[in-house]
Chain A
Amino acid sequence: MNPESDGPEALQDVLRLADPTATLVVVGCGRLGAMLASQLSRVGREVVVVDRNQAAFALLDVDFSGFQVVGDATELEVLREAGLERAAYLLVMTEKDTLNLMVAQVGRQVFSVPQVVARVYDPQRESLYRAFDIETISPTSLTAAAFLQRTLVKGGG
């Protein structure tokens, strides 16, 4: 990630549309979670990141000015501390599909967060999420599509 850039243009446009004081909660501060949280914070959004491991927050960049909550996101108390009751968006970004599903579901049903997006590695599980009315993004499918497209374009297809 280029630390000096403000993120993709598309992100900027999307951000301008929504309510500027809405809080976003990012669960899981790995490479993806940290990058998203940093970019959102940098463009002026209110962000709370949750991770089980204090050391994970080192991945956030210096400009990150949101809150950091250390704790297991499967515990309601931790999610409450992260202010999920008042959050407008929940992004679930941990490495475990099952954990992501559970947290996303809790966010949707217990805290009734209006917008919930979860990362899911295994494309086959996406239908499961859809049944719970949770939006998903599968890095595996996206990467596969990108590879396919690149190969076909290069191959003259």
Chain B
Amino acid sequence: MTDARYHDHLLQRYRVIGSFLGFLLQLLGLIMLLPLLVLFWVPQEWGLSPGFLLAAAPLLVMGWWLRRCTTELEKRSLSLAEGSVIVVIAWLAAIVVGTLPFYWAGLDISRAVFETTSGWTTTGLSVVDVATTPMLLLFYRSLLQLAGGAGLAILLVSVLAIRGGVGVSSAEGHSEQLVPQVRHSARLVIKLYAGYVLVGVIALKLAGMSWFEAVNHSFCALSTGGFSTRAEPLYLWSSPAAQNILMVLMLLGMTNFLTAYTLMLGRWRAVWRNAELKLTLGLLCFALIALWYGTPVARQAGVENLRITLFQVISALSTTGFVITGLEPEGGFSWLLLMVLMLVGGGSGSTAGGIKQQRIVLLFKNLKQHLLQLSSPPHAVHEETVWIGDQQRSLSGDEVRWAGTYVALYLLTWLSGGLILTACGHSMAQSLFEFASTLGTVGLSLGVTGIGSASGQLWVQIAGMLLGRLEFLVLFWGSARLLLDLPVLLARRCS
């Protein structure tokens, strides 16, 4: 293609991208307005509202303008690469604009961006003093986690009856569908999610939390986010019943939506065959027993200690990061164990982060296949299969290779991030723990991240959270496309 034709082609494609972005920005704008509803209960905090209005207004206007300029949306489809561009721009916009309410409330730029990213990526690391933060902002943080947990693509596809949903939703990493139609599937996910939240809020309220606490904790447990409304660890102020409910909610949040759906349809056999669930159970049992016996000082007597340990284990594995009691100040064994859980993370296609159990399962099955092959005649064929929902798939070389690459990339990023944190003056154990928590979007902290953290360190962690949430590929792919395409688009306009 000649330059001129290539330019025209790109221009056309970006018009389609623009119209999708327009929808997304408007959706984001509405999300930014939602926290203002809290003002009905706390009218004295109205002084914070300009921050939200300042954030919502440009989004709504930009979205409206983009949609007006680009009307061909209905007739076009999107490729995966174009979906990636949309996802990258939308996430960046969500973070930039989401920063404004915090900034308006008096946080500096680094801290405001950190808090917003921690919200959208459902990490839960925090650099604000929760005790003095207004309720409006606390609710806003939780809302960010709720929306971020579902993912922008799922929100977009479920709200709009448009085409091209496949490109956007698979770019954000939602590869498995509940039903054979991307739109219905996205809506079903949102319905399930909303159902969880509703049940969670009511259960937590019955367990003795105030409405405000119940709503926030339900949001943050199900999105596996982990922001809390109080600075003190949960054990000091909430009832055991509430803690138990939170455990269930976190487990729900880390379960693949497809698995949960199959479970709800009553297909128990399919659930039992699911390797991810077995891995979750195995890891939980192992970590529970190891931590129980391995921790030198029991915090509470007998069964109570077991319950606290279980909460901690679920909080780490589900990448939620709720803190039930403080972590031991010098806990080599428990730190490392929790670190491993954070690295593994939750189920694929859930709101959790980490390497994701599906990839671990794939690599283990691959190992088994290799070992079997070594011990049998050269031409024997061993086929390993994985169950996803109620569909059985044979192990494909491509999938295994990508899982291996992903794990390597993840660990490398983890080590690099840990290296940078040690350079900021923290101990090796603390740095690695903290960056495992950052990259896995967990939110457990050994005190490295806090109000007093250096700005440079915060920006490294911001990058870590985004990479972890968007699973590397889409960020690389989307930004590479943008960088390649933009010069072409701009060059012609100038000439």
Q: Which residues of A contact B (CB under 8 A)?
A: 3-6, 21, 23, 41-42, 44-48, 61-67, 69, 81
Using an 8 Å CB-CB cutoff, how does the interface string of B146-165 with A read, 1 for contact, 0 for none? 00000000000000010111
- Which residue in A5, A23, A63, A67 is a CB contact (below 8 Å) of B177? A67
Known: A42-B163, A62-B166. A67 touches B180 (CB 8 A): yes
**B181 adjacent to A66 (CB under 8 Å):** yes
In angstroms, Cα B327 to Cα A30, docked, is 59
* Chain A residues, Cβ within 8 Å of B21: none
- What's the minimum C-beta distance from B226 to chain A, rounded to whole angstroms? 32
- What's the minimum C-beta distance from A80 to chain B, rounded to whole angstroms? 10
Q: Does B469 contact A (CB under 8 A)?
A: no
**A65 adjacent to B181 (CB under 8 Å):** yes
- Which residue in B77, B78, B181 is a CB contact (below 8 Å) of A44? B181
The residue of chain B having its C-beta at the shortest distance from the C-beta of A6 within the complex is: B75
The residue of chain A having its C-beta at the shortest distance from the C-beta of B77 within the complex is: A63
- Which residue in B76, B79, B166, B184 is a CB contact (below 8 Å) of A4? B76
**A48 adjacent to B76 (CB under 8 Å):** no
**A interface: dominant SS:** loop
* Chain B residues, Cβ within 8 Å of A66: 180-181
**Residue in B75, B77, B161, B177 whose Cβ sees the most chain A Cβ within 10 Å:** B77
**A4 adjacent to B165 (CB under 8 Å):** no
Known: A62-B166, A62-B167, A65-B166. A47 touches B79 (CB 8 A): no
* Chain B residues, Cβ within 8 Å of A46: 179-181, 184
Q: Does B59 contact A (CB under 8 A)?
A: no
* Chain B residues, Cβ within 8 Å of A64: 166
The residue of chain A having its C-beta at the shortest distance from the C-beta of B76 within the complex is: A4
**B177 adjacent to A65 (CB under 8 Å):** yes
**A63 adjacent to B164 (CB under 8 Å):** yes
The residue of chain A having its C-beta at the shortest distance from the C-beta of B82 within the complex is: A62
Q: Does B183 contact A (CB under 8 A)?
A: yes
- Which residue in A44, A45, A47, A63 is a CB contact (below 8 Å) of B166? A63
- Which residue in A23, A48, A63, A81 is a CB contact (below 8 Å) of B163? A63
- What's the minimum C-beta distance from B85 to chain A, rounded to whole angstroms? 15
Known: A62-B166, A65-B177. A4 touches B182 (CB 8 A): no
Interface CB pairs A-B, < 8 A, 14: A4-B75, A4-B76, A42-B163, A44-B161, A46-B180, A46-B184, A47-B180, A61-B77, A63-B166, A65-B165, A65-B166, A65-B180, A66-B180, A67-B391
